[in-house]
Amino acid sequence: MESISEQLPSIFNVAAYFLNNNLEQGNHQKIAFVHGDDTYTYDQLSCFVQRTARSLLSLGLERENRIAILLPDTPELVFTFWGAVWIGAVPVPINTACNLEEVQYILQDSRAKILLTTQEWQEKLAPIESQFLQHILLKDGDNTFLSLLDRQLDKPIPCAKTSKDEPAFWLYTSGSTGKPKGVIHLHQSMVVCAEHYAKATLNLQPNDITYSVAKVPFAYGLGNTLYMPMAVGATTVLSDASNAFDIISDIQRYRPTVFFGIPSIYANILAVHDISPLDASSVRLCVSAAEQLPESIWQKWRETYDREICEGIGTTEFLHIFLANRLGECKPGTSGRPVPGYDVRVVDENGLPCPPGEIGDLLVSGESLMLGYWNRLRETRQALYGNTMKTGDKYLCDADGYFKFMGRKDDLFKVNGQWVSPLEIEDILHQHPQVLEVAVVPESDRGEQLTQVVAYVSLKPGQKPSSELETSIYKFAKQRLPHFKAPKIIYFVEHLPRTSTGKIHRKLVGSSQNLAESFYISEVKNTK
């Protein structure tokens, strides 16, 4: 596979590249995206992006300055992302599901000069403690961002002469320390993913309509919604769906041809089939990423809707998917085979390739790899060497070349497509008045089910396991954590296994067989 990067000129602006390509190919009146009842053509998109660029310049946003965008998937997000890239500034989309503390941290850490958000978020964030922030723009209220754009002239504005190797945007990803990390991507990165995955792997076409469950601030959503459809002149749906019923209704309404889902949403759509059956007739391609898709869901989806799910896996650091199943060649329960342009290897502790079927560390090389984590030299150096990244995932590669996820090297895991640190949950459960020790682990019945949060709990002297106590711990967690992080199952044990240094041995805790042999496990089990 030829290098995509080498084919790009050294002076390269990715916003101008995608927008101008569409106009040069005659896509002026082609619909770029749909939002609610509104549609925007590529001509309109280009016009709004340039108005945004002009507005941001007039507010003093300069090249390399960051602009934070804390919005749901809306036209304003799209215009501002591309408008900032157009002038060489750096957009930082922020997930609206972040909590206040995370958003405050990202605003401070990114040193964003401008924040575009909603009135509701502005009120929640007040006062914003960032000495770098100079302007807050609002999507709603008396003086909306769109009204600011309406006051701009439709006069072309030249794009910044950026380098293809220059930072174009940042995405924040959860870190094991609890503080999100700013992942820096370059102007060339999106082109690499679009060429290798959207075109060469998915065969995305100009007549496709894409629909993504993951929102734009996620690397998966950014590709599905923002730049992959643009790379081929397709149409995308900007959706405000928040659960499976909304998504089913959206699919009925917008008739997408490519559905980018996540495992929990596939499971939920199947679960509500008797209540609200999905009309999947428009969908030619179903994709899943963000966490491992259980084979049982894959099979049930095919039985119900007569469609395969092309599961893949990627990371924020690589911007999008690097292992993928292809239509007609899917092997359920695996992440698929390498996407063209990526070298994916499973290696042992000495860095030597593992034979087929043997578990090792997943190493990935590819041109879409991040520049690094912002202000996190140690983590960057630990993760990268050359254009290779140690993902922290444990994988095996079978004799047919399909890669299968076997767990994490660290203690992190994913639920509902989002990273979960057991430490955060354990910290909360420790505060329960009757809990002495706790260890939180993921359980997925060896990949057969969606990952669930499981807590192993030992009690303070004099306390006895009971279903009332279990309910009390369960409620305690739900009142203090995002609900998807609350344990689904609680096991009471007499003691928790420890390492030789006295730390709780979480890997051994995860092995219930070992626990059952060595420790008393209460029969109390939350089946909710």
Partner 1 sequence: MDNSKAMDTLKAILIDLGIPKESLHQDALLQEDLQLDSTEIVEIALGLKRRLGVSVKLEGRQDMTLDQVCHKVEAAISVHSNSNHAS
In angstroms, give the least distance from the CB of 261 to partner 1.
12
With b for 16 or more beta-carbon neighbours within 10 A and e for fewer, the 399-426 pattern comes to eeebbbbbbeeebbbbbbbbbbbbeebb
State whether the Cα torsion 142-147-151-152 is positive or negative.
Answer: positive
Residue the block writes with tokens 């009120």: 123
* CB nearer to partner 1: pick between 203 and 296: 296
Cβ of residue 215: shortest distance to partner 1, in angstroms? 12
Closest distance of CB 164 from partner 1, Å = 38
Minimum CB separation of residue 526 from partner 1 in Å reads: 8
* Dist CA 438 CA 332 (whole Å): 34
Binding site for partner 1 (CB under 8 A): 240-246, 249, 264-265, 268, 271-272, 274-276, 416, 471, 474-475, 477-479, 482-484, 486, 528
Q: Which of 380, 401, 375 is nearest to 390 (CA)?
A: 380
Q: DSSP labels for 230-274? A: HHHT-EEEE----SHHHHHHHHHHH--SEEEE-HHHHHHHHHTTT
Contact 378, 372 (CB under 8 A): no
Residue type, 271: A
Considering the complex, what minimum distance in angstroms separates the CB of residue 115 from partner 1?
23
With respect to partner 1, which residue has the nearer C-beta, 213 or 389?
213
Q: Is the CB of 177 or the CB of 276 nearer to partner 1?
A: 276
Closer to partner 1 at the Cβ: 118 or 189?
118
To the nearest whole angstrom, how small is the minimum distance from the Cβ of residue 52 to partner 1?
A: 26
Side chain identity at residue 294, one-letter code = P
3-state secondary structure of 34: strand
By beta-carbon proximity to partner 1, the closer residue of 55 and 118 is: 118
Nearer to partner 1, 446 or 483 (CB): 483
Structure tokens at 307: 């469609």
Rounded least distance, CB 75 to partner 1, Å:
17
CB of 324 to partner 1, least distance (A): 25
Query: Which residues are paired to 67 by β-bridges?
Result: 91, 114
- Count helices and strands (H / E) in the chain: 18, 26
Provide, rounded to whole angstroms, the least separation between the CB of residue 63 and partner 1: 38
Minimum gap (Å) between residue 410 Cβ and partner 1: 25
The 8 Å CB, 24+ separation contacts for 197-200 are 197/223, 197/228, 197/312, 197/320, 197/321, 197/324, 197/339, 198/223, 198/228, 198/231, 198/232, 199/231, 199/232, 200/339, 200/340, 200/341
State in angstroms the smallest separation of the CB of 194 from partner 1: 29
Task: Name the residue nearer to partner 1 (CB basis): 18 or 211.
Answer: 211
The token pair at 24 is 């040069």
Which residues neighbour 467 within 8 Å (Cβ) at sequence distance 6 or greater? 524
Comparison of 346 and 486: residue with beta carbon closer to partner 1: 486
Identify which of residues 91 and 465 has a Cβ nearer to partner 1 in the complex.
Answer: 465
How near is the Cβ of 479 to partner 1 at its closest, in Å? 7
Nearer to partner 1, 53 or 486 (CB): 486
Nearest-CA neighbor of 115 among 129, 135, 96?
135
C-alpha 499/C-alpha 505 separation (Å) is 5
* Between 101 and 329, CB nearer to partner 1: 101
Specify the 3-state DSSP secondary structure of 423.
helix
* Separation between Cα atoms, residue 350 and residue 136, nearest integer Å: 51
Closest to partner 1 by CB, 58 or 243: 243
- How many CB atoms are closer than 10 A to CB 522? 18
523: exposed, middle or buried (Cβ count in 10 Å: 0-12, 13-18, 19+): exposed
